Amino acid sequence: MSVVAPASSLPVIDVSAESAPSEIRQASTESGFFYVAGHGVDEGLRRRLVSLSRQFFEQSLESKLAIRMESGGRAWRGYFPVGAELTSGRPDRKEGIYFDAELDEAHPKVRTGTPLHGKNLFPEHPSDLRETVLEYIDAMTALGHRLMERVAESLSLAPDYFAEHYTADPLVLFRIFNYPALAPASADEWSVGEHTDYGLLTILFQDDSGGLEVKSPTGWIAAPPIPGSFVCNIGDMLDRMTGGLYRSTPHRVRNVNPSGRDRLSFPFFFDPNWDAEVHPIDVTAGPAADDQRQRWDRASVHDFRGTYGDYLFGKVSKVFPELRRDVL
């Protein structure tokens, strides 16, 4: 197993500060990861989310399967058990619930059967999870817009550049993951294997267990939780837009906890509209080299042609092959 260095090279950026754009540019070109402070998301909301999520995952498997993903159909929402999600073709050691923006049957994309659009599945217990999840999605969507304004400024673009071209109606995806503790001797077993994220930004809230690791040119860097912050990382589409200047960096998770405690994480994905065609933008520093050979799947995000929906569906359908067959 590779040695993991302390998280000394991942900066903490106050997104409300005047210096935020330049700090985001430096972090995005160097590691593709940074901590977000000054975000304004209510800490009480985050605490409620943790408490209610633990209550859900402590239930029996039968109770959790009452909202199984297969019941979500084309909307691709609901619960999956440990081992049902694949990363790099291998089963993850985590369970979770998929949530997205809550859309009723009158929404145009729901009427046309667009994948990943529709209503969420919520459990009967805990009953407060529905309200808390929807409040959290609203808060994180607002933060996503705010962060993309700062990203635009970091690229010397108008603050509303991404909203005008890609995110006026963003695709927002929210996950709650629970990672059972792995045995310390399981050196070759990962809670989630090496991967990159697909969209623009991932904004991650994690509990105090740790376990997130980020790939760097010199090895793997630990990205433990910092109280009151989020971990933010660049996705494939922002890597593509900037010609590789901003890095969609591989990362992984291994929950080895001496206490045997499960790990909770709450990734929120702020992505382009499903129908948006993602094109390169003019970055004055010039494009960086394509990192295709360093990626776990040897795939180049810069070779892709089509809409973000095409890209996302192709990626997600590899995570849940059985659901892909049902949707198609």
Q: Specify the CATH number for the domain of residue 40.
A: 2.60.120.330
The DSSP H or E segment spanning 179 is strand 171-179
Return the closest-CA partner of residue 328 out of 312, 311, 313.
Answer: 313
Of 242, 103, 267, the C-alpha closest to 162 is 242
Q: Provide the number of structural domains found in the chain.
A: 1
Residue 113: both structure tokens together: 């059967």
Mean pLDDT for the stretch of residues 189-200: 92
Question: Mean pLDDT lowest for which of 34-43, 164-173, 235-244, 303-312?
Answer: 303-312
pLDDT at 1: 36
Q: Mean per-residue pLDDT for 194-210?
A: 95
Counting other chains too, the contacts that 113-116 makes at CB distance below 8 Å and 24 or more residues apart are 113/74, 114/74, 114/274, 114/309, 115/74, 115/75, 115/76, 115/309, 115/313, 115/327, 116/74, 116/75, 116/76, 116/171, 116/173, 116/274, 116/309, 116/312, 116/313, 116/316
Write out the residue range of the structural domain in which residue 272 sits: 4-327
- The model's pLDDT over 107-147, given as tens digits with 9 standing for 90+, comes to 999 999 999 999 999 999 999 999 999 999 999 999 999 99
pTM above 0.85, yes or no: yes
pLDDT band at 323 (very low <50, low <70, confident <90, very high): low
Average pLDDT of 51-80? Answer: 96
Whether the per-residue pLDDT at 159 is higher than 80: the answer is yes
Min mean pLDDT across 64-68, 265-269, 307-311 is at 307-311
Mean pLDDT, rounded, of the chain: 90
pLDDT at position 6 over 50? no
